[in-house]
């Protein structure tokens, strides 16, 4: 076993290069993945356009639904960076859940969180206006960050909002010009004032309901 390598990684670990498609929407699912390092993008085709559903980091797991319900993969998973992962097959997963109550509880809690996140994202994607969708995503990111600063690229934010990267950049630059946020050269978005984001979101929600008269 290599120095610093955990027994779990020695047994179930694999390394994947950036840009590796782990599975595609519609594939049969035989394994789930637990991310040890790097980032993975989860995406789905909606009306023929690829939408980013999530960007996962260390500690996240994915691919479990296909081995739970024995149905095809509901989304596509691709590595954004070089990644180390635990690859768990159906039999091993079943053994872990049955033999370890703590793992089972953590798994249930994470599924509940993921369901909430999916509901939030579906609500955001139903908003027709690009600016409203992006501000809605920003507001949720600020809330989750609990400090106003979070690191997501323009491409990641665009994918979450279901809009093109160029459109997202223009919107973010406009928000930056009125000091609602700052956009660094490395594409890190920092929100200067959470109250301003919330106030802008309320205005856009009212405009969505009542039109430009608001």
Domain boundaries, the chain: 7-124, 127-213
Number of H helices, E strands in the chain: 8, 11
Nearest of 84, 98, 91, 96 to residue 9 by alpha carbon? 84
pLDDT of residue 98: 85
List all residues 6 or more positions away from 207 whose beta carbon is below 8 Å from its beta carbon.
Answer: 129, 132, 214
pLDDT of residue 45: 79
pLDDT of residue 196: 72
pTM: 0.56
Q: What six digits make up the tokens of 168?
A: 């997202």
List all residues 6 or more positions away from 107 whose beta carbon is below 8 Å from its beta carbon.
Answer: 61, 64, 97
Angstrom distance (rounded) from CA 202 to CA 65: 35
127-213 is a CATH 3.40.50.300 domain: no
Q: 7-124 in CATH: which number?
A: 2.60.120.10
Burial of 162 by CB count in 10 Å (0-12 exposed, 13-18 middle, 19+ buried)?
buried
pLDDT averages per 10-residue partition of the chain, 214 residues? 67 95 92 94 78 85 84 91 94 85 79 68 60 79 69 78 81 81 72 72 64 45
Which secondary-structure segment (H or E) carries 33?
strand 31-37
pLDDT of residue 1: 41
**Alpha helices, DSSP H, located in 19-100:** 64-69, 90-99
Is 200 in contact with 92 (CB distance < 8 Å)? no
pLDDT of residue 134: 81
């Amino acid at each position: 076993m290599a120095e610093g390598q955990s027994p779990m990684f020695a047994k179930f670990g694999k390394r994947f290069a950036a840009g590796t498609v782990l599975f595609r929407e519609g594939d049969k699912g035989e394994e789930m993945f637990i991310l040890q390092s790097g980032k993975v993008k989860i995406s789905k085709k909606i009306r023929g356009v690829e939408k980013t559903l999530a960007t996962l980091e260390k500690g996240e797991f994915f691919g479990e639904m296909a081995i739970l319900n024995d149905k095809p993969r509901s989304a596509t998973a691709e590595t954004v960076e070089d990644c180390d992962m635990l690859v768990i097959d159906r039999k091993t997963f079943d053994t872990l859940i049955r033999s370890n109550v703590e793992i089972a509880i953590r798994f249930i809690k994470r599924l509940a969180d993921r369901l909430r996140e999916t509901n939030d994202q579906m609500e955001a994607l139903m908003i027709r206006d690009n600016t409203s969708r992006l501000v809605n995503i920003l507001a949720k990111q600020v809330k989750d960050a609990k400090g106003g600063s979070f690191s997501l690229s323009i491409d990641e934010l665009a994918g979450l909002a279901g809009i093109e990267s160029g459109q997202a950049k223009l919107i973010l630059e406009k928000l930056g010009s009125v000091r609602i946020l700052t956009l660094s050269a490395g594409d890190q978005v920092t929100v200067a004032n959470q109250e301003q984001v919330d106030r802008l979101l309320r205005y856009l929600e009212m405009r969505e309901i009542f039109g430009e008269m608001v």
